[in-house]
Structure formats: C-alpha cells, structure tokens
C-alpha cells in the first residue's frame, strides 16, 4: 500500500475492507487512536463492552464496532463482525512499513549475489550461497550464515542472526536480537558425570508471514528440522527448542518456553510465561493461559490453565475458588473431628 499524507475517506476504507458504513462516507481519516485519546481525524474501535462509556464521550472521527453496539454509537461508524481485526487493517493502511532504499551499504560484507531490490544495512555479513527474495530488507549488524534462503519482502531488523542452512519464508518479520538456528540443547551424560555434545544437524524452517519478536531464539533440529509454520506470531524473548513444530497461525506471548520435540497445533494461543515440556503434543485450537505449566499432552481443543498441574480452565476456576477458603475449610474440619471424637467417647 502507498502512504497518503491526506489519509483516506470512510468510503475508501469500506471499499477496501468491507463492512457497513453508518454516517458520512466523505469523512477523511488520517490516523488511528484509542476512544479516549482520539480526535476528529482519528479512527478508533470498540471491541470490549467495558469501553462503551468511552464511546459516548469520544471525539473520534469514526469508529469500528459490532452490530450490537452500533445503535448507541453517536459517531460515524463501520459495523464489522470483527472490529479489532478491522481496526488492525486500517492501522496498517494508515501506517505502512518504512521502506529503506535498496542496495548494499558500503560497510556490509556480502559474499553472494543479491537482487538489486534487496536492502542490506551497515555492518551486516551475508555468507556464501545465500538467497534473499526481492524487496527484502536486512537491517544493520545482521549475520546471515552460508546457505540461508529467505523469501520475498522479508524484513530483518538490526542484529538478527540466522545460522547456516536455515529457511525463512516470504514476508517474514524478525526483530532485533533474534537468533534463528543456534544449536539445540543436545547433550549426553557420560558414566563419569561429564557431558558429550550431540551435533545438531537439522535446520530451522520458517513459513510465510511469520513474525518473530526481539531476542527470541529458535534452535535448529538435532536430526529433523525445527518447523515454524505459516502465519505464526511469536512475541519477544521466547525460547523454541530443537525439533519443535509450531502449527500455522499459532500465537505465543512473551517469555514462553517450548522444550525440544514438542508439537504445537494450529491456531493455538499461548499466554506469557507458559512452559510446555518436551515431547508433548498440543492439539489444534488450544488456548493456554499465562504462566501455565503443561506437563502432559493436550488432545482436545479448549482453554487450559494452572501450574500444579494444569487442567481444563473451567476446572481450574472451580479449584482456585476453593483454594481461597482452604484455611476456613481446614478449621471446620478440625472442629468436626473434635465433635466426632467427643461423640465416640460418649458412645
């Protein structure tokens, strides 16, 4: 998309993304903002009912919301089945990614022939036999090892390291400090207690439209490849162990740890700080709450929560409610035991 300094009218937005427009289609929008902070040229959204009060006092130019909230909206609005996703598309339209000039910086070291449309920043090192797709951007200070292949329109921010032989899909976004393809934690214990390193001879294969957060690490496979399928979104500071497979369109929040050879299904969500032990399988469409410790495989879709151990979210809520009253329950049990002992003496 091409950036336009004067923004877009609501009619133009609806023609691109659909939805039902209620209000003046000629209203021009130049930026996005929250309901609380928005001004007359801003586009906002209502996805959570608890913010309905802000809708009544908002100064936004227009808002996207669900059909249930449309009758009470005092502003021009677009009705959508998924207001938050609609807002995301409008935000992309109004805030296109910065495109660096193509070409290789004089202070970069490139040992392969790249398409003229590729941009390579200062201090970056590109090894032999590397293939980088058209219109890709490699930021400053990156290290791209021998034999790496990367799809079109990929973007690496500064100081990303891609180890040799890894494959990166089209339109991948990899943020600063990420390390792709380092050795997995493969060691064997000897009889004397010392450790012998097991060579990690697999690769990391990353699909199309994947985003990888800052300082996230994805280990190469020990024998088979570590696989990150299309559309996966990984937050900052995530650890993906060797031989892990993450299914398409799964999203993980910050500080998740996935141990080696785990299999994560498609369209899963994993909350921040969750831990998934190695060699487990998680089914498609599973939602794992923040800080949950997954110690056994999950075969059914649904929400799972807890760390002692994890369980179905509904069961965890019931048990957590009971835990608040453990002291009171223990006191009552002691009283009952005392009364029972007294009755036994009388009999």
Same domain, 229 and 302: yes
Q: Are residues 208 and 257 in the same domain?
A: yes
Distance, in Å, from the CA atom of 74 to the CA atom of 224, rounded to the nearest integer, reads 57
Distance CA 328, CA 41 (A): 57
| Domains in the chain, number | 2
pLDDT value of position 307 = 73
Alpha-carbon gap, residue 172 to 204, rounded angstroms: 14
Q: What is the pLDDT of residues 70-89, one digit of tens each?
A: 998 999 999 999 999 999 99
Structure confidence at residue 5 (pLDDT) = 67
What's the pLDDT at 2?
A: 47
Q: pTM to 2 decimals? A: 0.87
Is there a catalytic annotation at residue 242?
Answer: yes
| Integer Cα distance of 255 and 273 in angstroms | 5
Q: What's the domain range around 43?
A: 8-94
Considering the candidates 242, 279, 313, 325, report the single residue annotated as catalytic. 242
Residues 147 and 186 in one domain: yes
Assign residue 191 the CATH number of its domain.
Answer: 2.160.10.10
The answer to whether residues 181 and 274 belong to one domain is: yes
Residue 196: per-residue pLDDT: 98
pLDDT at 4: 64
Residues 173 and 309 grouped into a single domain:
yes
What are residue 264's DSSP bridge partners? 246, 282
CA distances from 288 to 226, 255, 297 (A): 21, 13, 12
Please indicate, yes or no, whether residues 218 and 149 belong to a single structural domain of this protein: yes
- Give the domain CATH number at 68: 3.40.1390.10
Contact indicator for 216, 198 with CB cutoff of 8 Å: no
In angstroms, the CA 257 to CA 165 distance is 24
Q: Which two tokens stand for residue 327?
A: 């002291």
Final residue before a domain boundary, out of 94, 121, 143: 94
Find the helix or strand (DSSP H, E) in which 206 lies. Answer: strand 204-206
* Cβ atoms of residues 43 and 90 within 8 Å: yes
In DSSP terms, 28 is beta-bridged to 9
Q: What is the mean pLDDT for each group of 10 consecutive residues in the chain (347 residues)?
A: 74 98 97 97 95 95 97 96 97 90 97 97 98 97 98 98 98 98 97 98 98 98 97 98 98 98 98 98 98 95 86 86 85 92 85
253 and 169 within one domain: yes
């Amino acid at each position: 998309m091409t950036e336009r300094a004067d923004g877009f009218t609501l009619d133009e937005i609806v023609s691109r993304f659909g939805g039902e427009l209620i209000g003046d289609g000629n209203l021009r929008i130049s930026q996005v903002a929250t309901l609380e902070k928005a001004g007359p040229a801003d586009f906002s959204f209502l996805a959570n009912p608890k913010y309905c009060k802000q809708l009544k006092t908002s100064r936004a130019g227009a808002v996207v919301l669900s059909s249930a909230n449309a009758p009470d909206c005092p502003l021009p609005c677009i009705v959508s089945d998924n207001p938050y996703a609609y807002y995301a598309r409008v935000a992309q339209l109004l805030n296109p990614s910065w495109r660096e000039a193509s070409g290789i910086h004089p202070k970069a070291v490139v040992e392969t022939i790249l398409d003229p449309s590729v941009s390579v920043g200062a201090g970056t090192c590109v090894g032999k036999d590397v293939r980088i797709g058209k219109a890709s951007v490699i930021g400053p200070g990156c290290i791209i090892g021998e034999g790496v292949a990367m799809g079109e329109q990929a973007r690496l921010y500064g100081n990303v390291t891609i180890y040799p032989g890894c494959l990166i899909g089209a339109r991948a976004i990899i943020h600063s400090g990420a390390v792709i393809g380092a050795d997995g934690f493969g060691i064997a214990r000897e009889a004397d207690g010392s450790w012998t390193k097991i060579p990690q001879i697999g690769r990391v294969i990353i699909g199309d439209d994947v985003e990888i957060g800052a300082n996230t690490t994805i280990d190469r496979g020990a024998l088979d490849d570590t696989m990150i399928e299309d559309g996966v979104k990984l937050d900052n500071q995530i650890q993906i162990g060797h031989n892990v497979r993450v299914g398409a369109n799964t999203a993980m929040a910050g500080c998740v740890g996935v141990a080696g050879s785990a299999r994560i299904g498609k369209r899963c969500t994993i909350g921040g700080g969750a831990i998934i032990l190695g060699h487990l399988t998680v089914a498609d469409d599973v939602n794992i709450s923040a800080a949950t410790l997954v110690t056994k495989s999950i075969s059914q879709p649904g929400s799972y929560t807890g760390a002692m151990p994890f369980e179905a979210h509904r069961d965890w809520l019931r048990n957590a409610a009971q835990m608040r009253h453990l002291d009171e329950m223990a006191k009552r049990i002691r009283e009952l035991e005392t009364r029972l002992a007294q009755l036994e003496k009388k009999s």
